[in-house]
Structures are given as C-alpha cells and as structure tokens.
Chain A
Amino acid sequence: MSRSDDIWILGIHMTKFGKHPDLDVVDLGAQAILGALADAGVTMREIGVLAAGNLFGSGSIAQQLQKQVGQTGIPAYNVSNACATGATALRTAIMAVKAGEVDYGLAVGVEKLAGAGLLGAGGRAKSDGEEWTRSGRFGAVAPVDGRIGTEAMPGVFAQIGMEYGHRYGGTSFELFARISEKNHGHSTLNPLAAYTKAMPLEQIMNDVMIAYPNTRPMCSANCDGAAAAVVVNGETLRTLSLEQQRRAVKVSASVLTSDPWQESCQILPDVNTLTRNAARQAYEQAGVGPQDLDLVELHDCFATAELVHYDNLMLCDEGGAVDFFESGAPFRDGRLPVNVSGGLQSKGHPISATGIANIWEVCQHVRGEGGDRQIEGAKIGLAHVIGLASACGVHILERSSLAA
C-alpha cells in the first residue's frame, strides 16, 4: 500500500492552562482529545493509532483515556520524553501515518502540575546516625544536588544563559528580565494562558530570586493543562470536505533529536547542539529557512533559555541573539514574533502538554484563527520544545493551499 508522504494536522485543541482543581488528569486529557476530534471532524472510529504522554500521573495514560473517549482496540503508545513528551507523542503518531500503517493518528499530552514546586531537584540528605555509604554513578556519600552544582531546573537553565553570555557577551540580568517582560506582555492577549497580566520590568527584577539571574516570573509556570492533535495523510485529506482541507495545517517538518556527545554535555546539559541539529533538519525537510517564518513558539522554560534558542533555531546569526532581541524582532509587532502565546513563563508549562500546545498556537495563526493575537497574514510557523537531557522536537507548520 502506498500513501502520499505529506502529513497534515486535521484537528487540534488546547485546554485552558491554569488551575483545574475539579478535573483530574484523565478529564483534562479527554477534554483535549474530544476537542481535537471535533476540530478535525472525525471520531475515535477513524483513528488508527494513539500516542499519549503524561509524566506525573499514575501511568498508562493512553489506556486510561481510551476508557473515557473510545476503546477501539487500536495500538496505544505511552510515551515519556521529559518536556518534549508532547512532541514525542505527536512524532509517534506521525511516524505511524507516514509509514502507511494507518490513515489517522491521535496524539495527546496532559499534565497536572498546579502547586508543584521546584522540578529537577531531589535527593534526601544523609540521615543522622548512619555511616557514610556510597551510591550512584559518582559513588557519592550523600545527594550531589546543591553540593556539587545544581540539578534544579532554574539553576541549570540559568547557567545555560550565562554560558551564552560568557561566549558572546552582551547579556545581563536586565536583558534576561526584558525577555520575560516581552512574554508576559504577549500573554495579555491569550485567554488560555495561565497568567495574563503584563509585568513591568522592575516588578520582574524585584520579584523573588530563584536562581540568578532567573527570578520567579522568569521561570515557567507549573500549571494544569492538556493539548491533543489529529494527524492525517495527504491522500486521505484530499477525500475530505473542502472545509477540512482548507483548515488542515501542513506539517512541513517533524523532527526529534537527542544530544550528540560533546565535551561538557554531561556536566551541564547542552541544549544547543541538538536544537541546532533539529532546526537544520527541519528547515531542510520543509524547504524553508528562518527568513520564511512568520512566527516562532520556542521553549522558554526560563528567560535565560529563550535567548540561546534565538541562536539555536538560527533566527539570528551565530552569536547574535542579544542583537536579535534588541532589534525588537521577537516582539509581536517585530520582524519575527517569538512566543506570542506568552510562552511558558506566562502561558504555563504543563510538561507533557507543552509540545503539542506550542503547535496549537502556531496552527491558530496559520489558520487565521488567532483572534486578538493573530499575527496578520501568517503562513508558516515553527514550534520548538526541549526536554532534559535531552530531547528536542521541532515542527514547521504551513497554511493549507488545498481547496483554495
């Protein structure tokens, strides 16, 4: 059986991000799935494969969701890839469609994180009254986090931004805070964001310091949320209604990378090389370059991270991320708007949902359905996500030219 190679997003949905005390992880995931199916104009009957991601729940989220939205006996994959879990679920569905095994695939990512504290840090201190015993791959007699560097995410990503500053210069606490100010400003137009208040620079800089130079509003917001997408191959799409063909969004590139070995990548995670590799592959697959993009949603898990990804995604010349920001380019009225959703710092970061929610945002714009925050005339957008340590997903999405 031969199928056309092109892959399309037929329907996609994102729940409101924020606090959902009355909904459990299955409620949220089901809401995203039912929304995506309705948006696609299909039912679980058509879906040939399900890939689902959830990191902090009780496991087997795919089957838990099937029990609520439709048990049809299709293969269900439970995927886990840190903050890139959503993108990995989508890649899994896309691979099955692309392989010609199924015509329609469904991917969902869901997380309940509201009230969760610092992520990434861990380890018990040595309990008194015992003798030192060695454990782990470093043969440490007590947890190394905090005693040999930091494993908590705000500090890890702070160092990643500082390392960029050391290499190229031009960074400062204030610069990183201004990146956060931009994203909080963008969030005021996004009703689905967890936080939708603009924050003045002074307020951001004077807020609680978590890991210098990242203050609290410069860190991604833990919250609840889900996102889901239905993908279809081009041949099947062309048999559907003109409305479905017009609203479908072309997946011009779908790439997932892990980090190739580099000196120091096991000391401080190297989020740069694998993102650069993913971007390069994605531009090649899509046959477009960074200059062709109308908007970018990138993984601003911390203000310090956004800066390095301007460079990694080649939105600027190598070493030119500070100049790119200073030029005003990544503001919503700039040359290449970045994170018009508000980004993870204000939209929120329900981990497994993030890698589909960023694609939802780009789809809204290229479909011309972005409402108050529509980037006028947007045709092509890029969505980027990264999870430590490490997985990077890059998708390039284009407006449909079918049934025009």
Chain B
Amino acid sequence: MSTVTRIPFVDYLVLEPEPHLIAYECTGCGARYFDRRNACAGCFGTEFTTADVPTEGEVRAFTIVTFAAPGVDVPFVAAVVDCGGTSVRGNIINCPPDPEHVSLGMRVRLATTVVGTDSAGVEAINYGFEPA
C-alpha cells in the first residue's frame, strides 16, 4: 500500500498519468473555467463537464515581475498562454527571466515544479510553462 506523497498545487492540475490541466466546460456554450463554478458567466447555464486542456501553447502576454508580495520569489515571469484556444494563466519556468529569453508568441509546454513539502512529507506540485 502506498501513501500519497505528491499532490497538485491546485484542483485543476492533474498529475497522473501525465501532468495536464482540466477545465470546467459549460455544456451550453463551451466556455471553460478553472475555478469552482456556480453557473456559467457567458450563458448562465449550470451544467459543466470536465475537459482536458492541451499542454502546449503560445505566449500571448507576459511580464517579468521584480517586485511582489512577501513570500513570492522574484524575478519571475507571469504569462497568459493560449493552449489551443483555451487561455491559461501561469509562470514561464525553466527559462531565464529576461526579455531576451521570453518573447510574445513563443511556443511553450506544460511543466511541473515542486512548491514545497509539508510536515507529513507531502510534496505540493505546481505547474508552469517551459520553452517548447
């Protein structure tokens, strides 16, 4: 019997078999969301299914944050990635955080990173995007 030693950082990250994101997809209009939903903001429907989000995409916007709230490591690259038509928020990782290495339109793929380990020895795994 194995104990859980890795958990996803957020509910919409699935680690097995391969790390990927899932979205709540409105059955009425196809709008996708990552947060817990009460209803669809687009068509007001209340039925959702779960959809796998493509793990590759294109950087549509980014910034390199050098001043942040206490506890946040800087500098880091925050970005919006277009994953096959679904917009995803995430950091660009495994890449130097400077405008010479990060560019608009660059191709990226989902990657994971360890956030930390709690007192029970459980690792929290977050996602980011790395150059593809």
Select B124's contact among A132, A137, A138, A166, beta carbons within 8 Å.
A132
In the complex the two chains form, what is the Cα distance from A158 to B36 in whole Å?
27
A154 at interface, CB cutoff 8 A: yes
A22 at interface, CB cutoff 8 A: no
Q: Give the interface centre of A121, A125, A148, A165 by most chain B CB atoms within 10 Å.
A: A148
In the complex the two chains form, what is the Cα distance from A154 to B80 in whole Å?
15
Select B80's contact among A123, A129, A268, beta carbons within 8 Å.
A268
Select A267's contact among B7, B80, B85, B118, beta carbons within 8 Å.
B80
A124 at interface, CB cutoff 8 A: yes
Contact partners of A122 in chain B: CB under 8 A? 69
Flag the segment in A204-212, A247-255, A353-361, A390-398 that touches B: A204-212
How many pairs of A and B residues are in contact by the CB < 8 Å rule?
163
Contact partners of A130 in chain B: CB under 8 A? 118-119
Known: A166-B61, A211-B63, A268-B89. A146 touches B69 (CB 8 A): yes
Known: A150-B63, A266-B35, A267-B89. A123 touches B69 (CB 8 A): yes
In the complex the two chains form, what is the Cα distance from A209 to B33 in whole Å?
32
Tell me the minimal C-beta distance from A272 to chain B in angstroms. 12
Is the CB–CB distance between B80 and A121 below 8 Å?
Answer: no
Tell me the minimal C-beta distance from B10 to chain A in angstroms. 5
Within 8 A of B (CB), among A145-202: 145-150, 152, 154-155, 158-160, 162-163, 165-166, 173
Render A114-154 as a binary contact track against B, CB cut-off 8 A, 1 for contact.
Answer: 00001001111110111110100111111111111110101
Is the CB–CB distance between B87 and A147 below 8 Å?
Answer: no
Is the CB–CB distance between B35 and A267 below 8 Å?
Answer: no
Q: Which residue of B lies closest to A158 (CB)?
A: B63
In the complex the two chains form, what is the Cα distance from A145 to B9 in whole Å?
12
Interface residue total, chain B, C-beta cutoff 8 A? 51
Within 8 A of B (CB), among A282-300: none
Q: Which residue of A lies closest to B86 (CB)?
A: A263
Is the CB–CB distance between A138 and B11 below 8 Å?
Answer: yes
Tell me the minimal C-beta distance from A205 to chain B in angstroms. 12
A-B contact list, 12 entries, CB within 8 Å: A138-B34, A139-B10, A139-B11, A142-B124, A144-B10, A145-B69, A148-B126, A155-B65, A162-B61, A209-B64, A212-B66, A268-B87
Given contacts A129-B119, A210-B66, A268-B61, 16 further A-B contacts (CB under 8 A): A121-B68, A121-B69, A125-B72, A126-B118, A142-B115, A146-B74, A148-B89, A148-B90, A149-B91, A152-B68, A162-B61, A166-B60, A214-B63, A261-B42, A267-B88, A268-B87
